[in-house]
Amino acid sequence: MAPPSSTTNGRAANGQFGPGNPGRPPGARNRASHRVVAAILEHFEADPKRILGTILFSHPNAYVSLLARLLPTPAEFAEAEDPGESDPGPP
């Protein structure tokens, strides 16, 4: 059976991606996802203290999860605290 002929957009005549064209990379967002993220950021930037306070009191587990994702790990914190650790200091 002959492979389906490919079109100019990288897809075969049956709508599937042609050989050598894997499509969107894993983790890449489509236009709708970009618009949702932009809308959420715009809403958050309008009043971040109120939004974080609401999350803290209404959904404390989500608040802690958010902090765990955003705060530096202990190793990153230690590196930031002692940037000159390899420096032997004055003789």
Phi, psi of 7 (to 5 degrees): -105, -175
Q: What is the pLDDT of residue 44?
A: 93
Q: Where are the domains of the chain?
A: 47-80
Of 1, 30, 25, residue with least CA distance to 17: 25
DSSP string computed for 32-82: HHHHHHHHHHHHHHH-HHHHHHHHHHH-HHHHHHHHHHHSPPHHHHHHHH-
pTM for this prediction: 0.48
Return the amino acid letter for 14: N
> Tens-digit pLDDT profile for the chain (91 aa)?
445 554 557 777 888 877 777 777 777 778 888 999 999 999 999 999 999 999 999 999 999 999 999 888 888 777 777 655 555 555 5
